[in-house]
Amino acid sequence: MALYLSNAEFLDWKTHEITRTAIRVHEGVDAGIDLLDKVPDGEPSLDCSGRIVTKSFVVGHHHIYSALARGMPQPAVGPTSFVEILENIWWRLDKALDADMIRASALVAGIDAALAGTTFIIDHHASPNAACNSLHIIAEALDSVGLSHLLCYELSDRDGSERLEQGIAETDAYLRSHQGLVGLHASFTVSDDLLSRAMEMARLHETGFHVHVAEAASDQEDCLAKHSKRCVQRFADVGALELPQTILAHCIHLDNEERRLIGESEAWVAQQSESNQNNAVGTLDARAFADRVFIGTDGMHGDALAATRATYLASQSVEGLSPHDACERLRCVHRYLDQNNFRGDGENNLVLLDYHPPTPVTPANWASHVMYGLNRSHIETVISDGRVIVQNRRCTLLDEDSVLAEAQHQAKRLWDKL
């Protein structure tokens, strides 16, 4: 099966070269596209006149489980530190999640991402009282929106051994039948025993870690106090940085030796500027590993373009990031997925942009259009694995309105439990 696009302005995501062309989009995971002089006679096609067609986007670090948190009641006493933000908000929320809430969260987060032009989500999930089957529920929900994914369950010692064993069982069961990662919360809630078991699981399933690293200074202080070493060294010592699938999220509070370790390693870093500003924890300095940084949203939304603009604005003062550098960071995740043979991010994942700027678009200035003009309102049609999953700004594979109504119901249930 193939879908034909006619009269497209095809923008190559690597070179930003623009070609006026017809496109044959093959259906199926990693099935690819062909640029054609014209659509073959007799084949129906999607007319892309006045539309820029380019590769869709990936969210490199998400927390789908937080989708029902928007506007939830706040704790009586506001958090005064990053650890209090976790303890008083996110760890209360994730403990209250059940299967129906997880499903509703994944569906609305998936719809939000798809409408923003995202076709692949790398997620980090926690639901300590409903770990069993949780990754399977999320996978099924994202599949139903038409999105590809790379999931993990957040293993941690923070909730005791019984819940940890359930998280390990879910991780192991999921990785036996799906691509995914071994999720860990962060050094300060992970014991040495858990760290070595996680490493065994990663090697068994031929994958890597997905872990928060030095998001706040307190993670480093805890690591130095308990383990007499800094966080990156701790993960390096068990071999996690030798795994090319490993994602280190945040990496804000590193010293130069840790930056050098990452720069010389196989690991990748996910940057979440908006979340870092939201939690007032600082800004990444990625100069020592700039070719291995990609962009996530940390649960705030599914919009990779918005996250890229935020990255550009936040990282200018720290790294002197240019619009071109920020675009490279947006697209770096495709290399991560490709080099690790993760499936679902092939060239047959596309967005049709209804973007009519007041100035010319050229290969040399596309990055400036991405920073100063393009946003999710321009995402008109989204093609995932060769299938149209968003058309005229509406999801095609499921009924958005009934999903939102169910999410409202589940959000009330969740908030009542908090």
- Using CB under 5 A, list all residues that contact Zn ion: 298
Tokens, residue 290: 């700039």
**DSSP state letters, 122-189:** EE-B--TTS-TTHHHHHHHHHHHHT-EEEB-BEE-STT-HHHHHHHHHHHHHHHHHS-B-EEEEEGGG
Phi, psi torsion values for 333, nearest 5 degrees: -65, -25
* Nearest-approach distance from CB 212 to Zn ion, in angstroms: 5
Q: Which is nearer to Zn ion, 311 or 348 (CB)?
A: 311
Q: Give the C-alpha distances (Å, rounded to integers) separating 387 from 109, 113, 146, 270, 394.
A: 19, 16, 8, 28, 14
Using a 10 angstrom Cβ sphere, with 0-12 exposed, 13-18 middle and 19 or more buried, the burial of residue 396 is middle
* Nearest-approach distance from CB 125 to Zn ion, in angstroms: 10
Q: Which is nearer to Zn ion, 146 or 167 (CB)?
A: 167
Reduced to 3 states (helix: H, G, I; strand: E, B; else coil), residue 334 is helix
Q: Which is nearer to Zn ion, 261 or 281 (CB)?
A: 281
> How far is residue 266's CA from residue 18's CA, in Å, rounded to a whole number?
33
Residue for token pair 């038409």: 146
Instruction: Decide the pairing of beta strands 148-150 and 293-295.
Output: unpaired
Q: Which is nearer to Zn ion, 298 or 303 (CB)?
A: 298
Strand order in the sheet with 182-186: 154-155, 182-186, 209-213, 247-250, 268-271, 293-295
* Nearest-approach distance from CB 87 to Zn ion, in angstroms: 16
* Nearest-approach distance from CB 59 to Zn ion, in angstroms: 11
CB atoms within 10 A of CB 7: 18
* Nearest-approach distance from CB 124 to Zn ion, in angstroms: 5
* Nearest-approach distance from CB 152 to Zn ion, in angstroms: 11
CA dihedral 45, 117, 338, 132 (to 10 degrees): -120
Q: Which is nearer to Zn ion, 183 or 344 (CB)?
A: 183
* Nearest-approach distance from CB 298 to Zn ion, in angstroms: 4
Q: Which is nearer to Zn ion, 166 or 276 (CB)?
A: 276
* Nearest-approach distance from CB 57 to Zn ion, in angstroms: 18
* Nearest-approach distance from CB 157 to Zn ion, in angstroms: 18
Q: Which is nearer to Zn ion, 184 or 305 (CB)?
A: 184
Q: Which is nearer to Zn ion, 64 or 111 (CB)?
A: 64
Phi, psi torsion values for 40, nearest 5 degrees: -55, 145
Q: Which is nearer to Zn ion, 94 or 298 (CB)?
A: 298
> How far is residue 132's CA from residue 134's CA, in Å, rounded to a whole number?
6
* Nearest-approach distance from CB 296 to Zn ion, in angstroms: 7
185 within 8 A of 211, measured Cβ to Cβ: yes
Q: Which is nearer to Zn ion, 9 or 298 (CB)?
A: 298
Among positive and negative, which fits the CA dihedral 312, 315, 317, 323?
negative
* Nearest-approach distance from CB 234 to Zn ion, in angstroms: 18
Query: Among all residues, whose Cβ is closest to Zn ion?
Result: 298
CB atoms within 10 A of CB 105: 28
Q: Which is nearer to Zn ion, 152 or 352 (CB)?
A: 152
CB atoms within 10 A of CB 126: 26
> How far is residue 206's CA from residue 180's CA, in Å, rounded to a whole number?
10
Tokens, residue 114: 């798809």
